[in-house]
Amino acid sequence: MNSKSFGLGILDAIVKIVVVIIAIMLISKYAKVGYEFGYNIFNQTPVTTAGEGKTVRLTIDSSVTVTELAKQLEEVGLISDWKLFYIQEYLSNYHGKITSGTYELSSTMTADEMLEILASGYTEEEEILVNSETEVTTDSTDAASETSEEVSETGETTEGNN
């Protein structure tokens, strides 16, 4: 009887130690994930570097939610995580200010730069007019090699070259 209770006591201790180790591992893992997510909210980096990006023409309807927009941006490769973009929009100065229209966004832009454009109210046609009046030059990247996609609020894309 003594040896039986001694064996059960050791087994009980081993189970408790294993549970504590698993809890420590889970806490460590999710603390790291939470830290990286929080870090990425404020340390915005574009999906691609300058000169390697793609330009996407995006049409936003007034009924599109930020969640739908974020999922669409992730789908076409402009952002890496739609949840991160959603939180960045919520915490930004542009929260609730995204206007409907057609915009050209690039994968070389940060989330804040995209939100600034989407909240500015300038559609693609108005931007072209402003650029032609002020003679702003475009990037020195080879425009023929950049990919352009047309995206509507329904999520359909059509590819073409600039």
pLDDT digits (tens, 9 = 90+) for 53-108: 788 888 888 888 999 999 999 998 899 999 999 999 999 988 988 888 889 998 89
Where does the pLDDT of residue 1 fall: very low under 50, low under 70, confident under 90, or very high at 90 and above?
low
Residue 128: per-residue pLDDT: 38
pLDDT at 11 over 80: yes
Q: What are phi and psi of 72, to 5 degrees?
A: -65, -40
More confident residue, 21 or 152: 21
Q: Provide the 10 A C-beta neighbour count for residue 53.
A: 21
Give helix 82-91 / helix 2-42 axis angle, nearest 10°.
60
Residue 104, CB-side half-sphere exposure with 13 Å CA sphere: 12
Residue 133: per-residue pLDDT: 38
Name beta bridge partners: 102: 59
Report the sign of the C-alpha dihedral through residues 14, 20, 23, 28, in that order: negative
Q: Model-level pTM?
A: 0.62
Residue 131: per-residue pLDDT: 37
Cβ-in-10-Å burial (0-12, 13-18, 19+) of 103 comes to buried
> How does strand 147-151 pair with strand 157-161?
antiparallel
pLDDT in tens, 116-152: 999 887 554 444 343 333 333 333 333 333 444 445 4
pLDDT at 36 over 60: yes
Whether 155 and 70 have beta carbons less than 8 Å apart is answered as no
Distance in angstroms (rounded) separating the CA atoms of residues 51 and 107: 10
